[in-house]
Structure 1
Amino acid sequence: MRMKVAIFGSEEFCKRAVQYTDQRSEVILDCYPYAIPSEAPELLKSLLPCDAILFSGSLPYVASINVLETIPIPAFYLKQNETEIATTLLAISLQEGLKLHETSIDVRNADVLDNVLSDIDKMDQRPLVYELKEDYLLEDIIQFHVASYQRKETILAITSVHAAYDRLVELNIPVVKMINVKSSFLATLDQVCQEALLHKSETSKIAAGILELPSSPSVSEGTYELLAKLLHAHFIEADEGILFYTTQGAIQSARYIPEFVEITTQFSGNLAFGSGHTLTAAKENAVSALRYMQFEKQVGVYLLDEKKELHNLLESAADPVELRVIEPFLTEIAEKTALSPAVLSKLSSFGQSHQSTQFTANDLANHLDVSRRTAERTIKKLLNNNYAHAVGEEMTYRQGRPRAVYELSFPVY
């Protein structure tokens, strides 16, 4: 299957990408060159249909994150690795005969550079380093190289940013660009194509949706028809509510349509989807998602996939909730505590994301989106079975007893 990949990078990077794939008939590159990485988000607005997006580096990718959240295809960036840095330093040493401490260099990750220097036993000749942060400014990079050159600390600049290279040339600062290694680019491109193929497979799976209406429906038939149109779905009225039949990809695409978001946040009924390899499995998962929403008193739009992972479609940043326990230790916890798979999944997520290993009942209540009393009951079940333990108390500087502080005592990763 031929894959069409959109390439975002400097004009030179785009030309190199085309040259590297000249013999790769299974890949079509659609290039979107920019002058500086910060132009990438605006270029994304003119994106034509494709299977995946590949950025020349982390800088244009990070700058585009907000726009990428509205584009339902996978996006990746070419990571700067040891091979690129080592190849560049080798080329400079062969052509220029320079010592490393006479150079200034900007890199996306200073640790990667240190790995190279450590491997070649040249840590004592470390160049002046500027680490490119997510919120970097082009002028800061240029000033870093110019200042070190004018102070006569360096005689050559090495830059990872094409726009910085062009400016330094204009300023008559001796400069070279980080080399884009062909093998690294092709390896990344192969990974991008594999992920795009997997994405296509996932989005083509059958999906079913159930719109459960309240006793006095506030949704007209015209709304059903509009939802079906946005979902590319067929709908029928049944005992469970309004049933929609579509694909997982159509649902994932609809979440980015403002009209779909507006409709689903206005009506008072629950809307749940399920996906699977068969229509029966998809419908069963939709029913399970709906029951979860009813039991947990959740609102929104949820999708339960064939892995039994529950996704909140209107909150893309939210972690999926596991509705099936497959890890032996979680199965044991479920049996001993009578906690549901959904609660155990949220507990694991809480243990991973909470900034401290210690927590209070209020902390857990906020994460689980339940009352403090419910959180305390959950903690009690964990304490009774040695899956949590009290480690102290927290003073609130208010009237009343201090709050107990706990730690989880089971693996969460």
Structure 2
Amino acid sequence: MCTQIAVICSADFAKRIKIIENELPSIKLQYYLYKKPQEAPTLISQIKPCDAVFFSGALPYYYAKKICEGLPIPTHYLQQDETAIATTLLAITKRDGISLQEVSIDITDSQIVTSVLEDIGLVLTPKIFKFDPTTNIQELVEFHYHLYKNHKTLHAITSVHAVYEILQELNVPVSGMIDPRSSIIKGIVDTKNLAILSKSQSAKIAVGFIKFEGIKEIHSNVLSRFTELFKTKLISVESNSYTIFSTQGDVEKTFEFITEEKWKSLIDTPFKLAFGYGSHIEEATQNAKDALLLTKTNTANIITEKKQLLGPYPKYHHCIELRTREPVLVEVAKSTSLSPANLSKVIQFSKYHSANEFTAHDLETFLKVSRRTSERILKKLVDHHYAEIIGEEMTYQQGRPRAVYKLNIPTYT
């Protein structure tokens, strides 16, 4: 089957790819051209149905990154590597006889240039501008232009085609970064592989359990709302529980776009919904059963094959690790007797909490548990020196002050 890839790039880059299209079997490219990288987000809205999106470089991808995060298909961009830098610098120094000290270069990762020069034993370095998503094209132009006009450089190398064109108009000797044929082919093939992986993940089976509370029989019209929602017709019944079979992709799309209003309109009877993902039906079924035990009334949870608990839907999209792999966290869980789920919740709380210091009430509010539960978790952490009391706060005139805590465990693993 042919993989359709949308390519967002400049006209010059498109011309290069078209020359090597015959080396990309089972891949069909659709071109969306910009004059400036800032136009990339606008081009996203023009893309016709395809399997993935490929950007010609980091800058157009940076500009469109926020929109890309909402796309249902994978995105990838051509990353500059040592081969591109070495090829470009070799072409400039050998062809024009220019010293590296007389060259200015803009790039997303200056370390690549340093690594290449160190590998070949060169001490002299070009003038480097490291750009990022906040960089304006005019900044790049001025960087090269002023160095050249002040006789500090003789040649500019740019990673951005729009900068290349402007510098040419300003009569600044300039070359574009050379993206080797092998790097371009690799980038497009990597994009194809991401598309194939995404499709295979979406096609994995998802087993769902719907449990209705306080009622033995549900009208078929109500059940059809659930089957239509998750694009399935197959249902098995056991008491007041119903099993549905769907795919991971359909379940994820449903929860991504469903509103709270539509969720509430499904049925007036209290219910619980849980899904399990897995590489085979037995694994998915067991994960769905485990997810159902953790699901509260009128919400839905998912347990993935990696033992991640997602939900509760439709309002929240938290991800809680039910399995601890990091050695440090394994030791924390073992010594405190905290479950991986509770430990994952504490770490998630630490990431989302705006301050390093917090109270039991802060943890209680985030976890949606009782004060007793939050205090019990904190006591275990304090007893084993994974948290410490660093002060107190008094928010009321009466009553005892609240302890203020700080975590002493790695939260960015």
- For the criterion TM > 0.5, the same-fold answer is yes
CA distance in 1, matches of 2:312, 2:48: 24
| Residues 366-391 of structure 1, C-alpha deviations (whole Å, 9 max, x = no match) | 6645455433311222344x36253x
Could you tell me whether the CA contact under 8 Å between 2:205 and 2:281 is conserved in 1?
A: yes
Q: CA deviation at 1:141?
A: 1.5
Q: Where does residue 144 of structure 2 map in the other structure?
A: 145
Q: Where does residue 111 of structure 1 map in the other structure?
A: 111
Provide closer, same or farther for how the CA distance between residues 183 and 166 of structure 1 changes in structure 2, counting only shifts above 3 A: same
CA distance in 1, matches of 2:222, 2:166: 55
Q: CA deviation at 1:69?
A: 2.7
CA distance in 1, matches of 2:285, 2:2: 32
Q: CA deviation at 1:282?
A: 2.7
Q: CA deviation at 1:175?
A: 1.0
Please point out which of 379, 386, 393 is paired with 1:388: 386
Q: Where does residue 309 of structure 2 map in the other structure?
A: 310
CA distance in 2, matches of 1:158, 1:104: 6
Within 5 Å, give how 1:324-403 maps onto structure 2: 324-325=323-324, 334=333, 337-347=336-346, 349=348, 361=360, 364-365=363-364, 368=367, 370=369, 373-384=372-383, 386=384, 388=386, 390=388, 393-394=390-391, 396=393, 403=403
Unaligned runs of 5+ in 2: none
Confirm or deny that 1:89 pairs with 2:85: no
CA distance in 2, matches of 1:115, 1:348: 36
Could you tell me whether the CA contact under 8 Å between 1:104 and 1:145 is conserved in 2?
A: yes
Please point out which of 257, 275, 289 is paired with 1:287: 289
Q: TM-score, normalised by structure 2?
A: 0.82
Provide closer, same or farther for how the CA distance between residues 209 and 168 of structure 1 changes in structure 2, counting only shifts above 3 A: same
Within 5 Å, give how 1:11-410 maps onto structure 2: 11-127=11-127, 129-213=128-212, 225-234=224-233, 236=235, 239-241=239-241, 243-257=243-257, 262-264=261-263, 269-294=271-296, 301-312=300-311, 320-325=319-324, 334=333, 337-347=336-346, 349=348, 361=360, 364-365=363-364, 368=367, 370=369, 373-384=372-383, 386=384, 388=386, 390=388, 393-394=390-391, 396=393, 403-408=403-408
CA distance in 2, matches of 1:80, 1:317: 38
- Indicate the RMSD between aligned Cα atoms, in angstroms: 3.6
Could you tell me whether the CA contact under 8 Å between 1:93 and 1:99 is conserved in 2?
A: yes
Provide closer, same or farther for how the CA distance between residues 317 and 19 of structure 1 changes in structure 2, counting only shifts above 3 A: farther
Q: TM-score, normalised by structure 1?
A: 0.82
Could you tell me whether the CA contact under 8 Å between 2:359 and 2:402 is conserved in 1?
A: no
The amino acid that maps onto 2:81 is N
What SS does the aligned partner of 1:94 have? helix
| Residues 247-306 of structure 1, C-alpha deviations (whole Å, 9 max, x = no match) | 11112233444x556523776754432222444543332232232233xx8x75432122
| Residues 102-127 of structure 1, C-alpha deviations (whole Å, 9 max, x = no match) | 22211111222222233334344332
CA distance in 2, matches of 1:15, 1:377: 64
Provide closer, same or farther for how the CA distance between residues 404 and 245 of structure 1 changes in structure 2, counting only shifts above 3 A: same
CA distance in 1, matches of 2:381, 2:145: 60
Total equivalences in the alignment: 405
